[in-house]
Amino acid sequence: MQFPKHFEDEIDVSTFEQILEMDDDEDDREFSKSIAYDFFAQADETFKNIDKALEEKDLPELSALGHFLKGSSATLGLMKVRDSCEKVQNLGLMKDDTGNHDADDEDENLKAIEKNAKQAKADLKVAEKLLRKFFGEEEEE
């Protein structure tokens, strides 16, 4: 299978290929394309909710949103997004970003969540561009 340049740097191909196997027609890839495009919309909404929860300093909500987006991004093979979202989840639980140690400074965790959410957004932008290219949406530069 032919993937766009740098695709494998951003997306776990074996995970993504499992979704592609569910397509009825390899030419239009309707099923996998709908999963990817629904995820883009879902992620956009989730990032808006993360921004709102950051404003409200709502750590439990941030953890829940990080957990949700971690799972969704992992399903598509977006490992960089998944990893940043896992850190958001852990930090929201007042742990360090690995989830292995308790944290005691809420403000530091909020700053770290903001940083990781920003990284996840940037990684998603790169992955989305690659996936749109894979599905035949050539973006004009």
56-114: per-residue pLDDT in tens? 999 999 999 999 999 999 999 999 999 999 999 999 999 999 999 999 999 999 999 99
Give Cα separations from 19 to 38, 88, 126 (angstroms): 14, 26, 19
CA atoms of 64 and 20, how far apart (whole Å): 28
Neighbouring residues of 121: CB distance < 8 A, sequence distance ≥ 6: 47
Residue 76, both tokens: 């598509």
Q: Which residue in 2, 5, 15 sits closest to 81, CA to CA?
A: 15
Is the entire prediction scored with pTM above 0.85? yes
Whole-number pLDDT of residue 140: 46
Instruction: Show the domains of the chain with their CATH numbers.
Output: 7-20+32-134 (1.20.120.160)
H or E segment to which residue 132 belongs:
helix 106-134
CA distance 99 to 32: 32
Report residue 138's pLDDT band, with 50, 70 and 90 as the boundaries: low
**Long-range contacts: 44-47, Cβ < 8 Å, 24+?**
46/72, 47/117, 47/120, 47/121
d(CA 96, CA 90): 6
Q: What is the pLDDT of residues 33-47, one digit of tens each?
A: 999 999 999 999 999
